[in-house]
Amino acid sequence: MASVYYFTLILSLLFLLNPSTATTRKLSALVEQQPLVLKYHNGALLKGNLTVNLIWYGKFSPIQRSILIDFIQSLSSSKSTALKPPSVSSWWKTTEKYKTGSSKLVLGKQIFNEKYSLGKSLKTYQIVALAAKADLKNAINVVLTAKDVAVDGFCMSKCGTHGSAFGGKGKMKSKFAYVWVGNSETQCPGQCAWPFHQPIYGPQSPPLVAPNGDVGVDGMVINLATVLAGTVTNPFKNGYFQGPATAPLEAVSACTGIFGKGAYPGYAGELLVDKTTGASYNARGLNGRKYLLPAMWDPKTSTCSTLV
């Protein structure tokens, strides 16, 4: 037990020292869950019809793009409501339990930057600049970086982030929400693509088979789900969160490491298994896709809610 205690203590210190102002999904959160209460700080939430614009930075295959696009379209599409549960849309419906109603996400424009115009090592301000190139009104602009792109803090302290910034020109400047998620396939799959890869730290268990056959991109789905939920429930650092605003535990990051009932450190929980591929999943999406989505904090029950 002593080794677990010190592991948890070290991870807690790392969390407090993290200077990032955005949501971080960490494998390090695979510790025993304590009772959770995400306080509402009376700030604005993102509700209503929201456009999700995608900025692809680096090279993604058509199949990789389709996995992520199908996921986004599965969140709020009218077709997704007809899917046999558990579904991606039923997972997203938990965000409706947060104050002021629902958030409907609709896929918007896509911007492709396959020539690495800013190089292969990006700073946070460059992520914001890339996000600002898409439409800003009623939008969440998502920057997705390829497996050969390094980003400030990637792997060391974060797998994805969200934040807000001002964009536009002159009097037309407005505040917009942005998201970044990186492909960790070759950089840190044990940290950012768990449970589809052996973890770097903590209890060791065999990795699960990724539902779409791509460890890096299936890991991106988990991280994208995490930061999208954080974006709509805590877009401007004064929504729902626990702890300091500079390093908050949010709707999903407060439940990191939990995917199904009975989860504990090193074990994702009871999941569904595809009989043909042996892949683990807990949500059905459009176009026959299957996904593994993290637990989300339910404000009605003050617990981390899972689909299975």
How far apart CA 291 and CA 308 sit, in angstroms, is 12
Q: Which amino acid is at 142?
A: V
The H or E element that residue 40 is part of is strand 39-40
- Residue 43 domain flag: no
- Residue 143 domain flag: yes
Specify the pLDDT at position 63: 98
- Residue 111 domain flag: yes
Residue of higher predicted confidence among 87 and 22: 87
pLDDT digits (tens, 9 = 90+) for 152-208: 999 998 999 999 998 866 556 788 999 999 999 999 999 999 999 988 877 788 999
Does residue 96 surpass a pLDDT of 50? yes
- Residue 156 domain flag: yes
Measured CA distances, 17 to 10, 224, 244 (Å):
11, 23, 11
β-strands 174-182, 160-167: how paired?
antiparallel
Residues 206 and 194 sit within 8 Å (Cβ to Cβ): no
* Region at 262 (left for phi over 0; alpha for psi -120 to 50; beta for the rest): left
Specify the pLDDT at position 33: 47
- Residue 173 domain flag: yes
Residues 88 and 75 sit within 8 Å (Cβ to Cβ): yes
Does residue 232 surpass a pLDDT of 60? yes
Which band of pLDDT confidence, cut at 50, 70 and 90, is reported for residue 80? confident
Residues 264 and 270 sit within 8 Å (Cβ to Cβ): no
- Residue 291 domain flag: yes
- Residue 37 domain flag: no
- Residue 12 domain flag: no
Specify the pLDDT at position 22: 43
Q: At what angle do helices 62-76 and 215-233 cross, to 10 degrees?
A: 30
> Residue 102 sits in which domain range?
50-305
How far apart CA 210 and CA 70 sit, in angstroms, is 16
β-strands 240-241, 39-40: how paired?
antiparallel
Q: What is the signed CA dihedral for 66, 68, 72, 75, rounded to 10 degrees?
A: 100
Secondary structure class of 169 (helix, strand, coil)? coil
Q: Which amino acid is at 34?
A: Q
Quote the radius of gyration of the chain (alpha carbons, Å): 18
Q: Which pair of structure tokens corresponds to residue 259? A: 């995917």
Provide the domain count of the chain. Answer: 1
As a whole-number percent, the residues of the chain with pLDDT over 70 amount to: 87
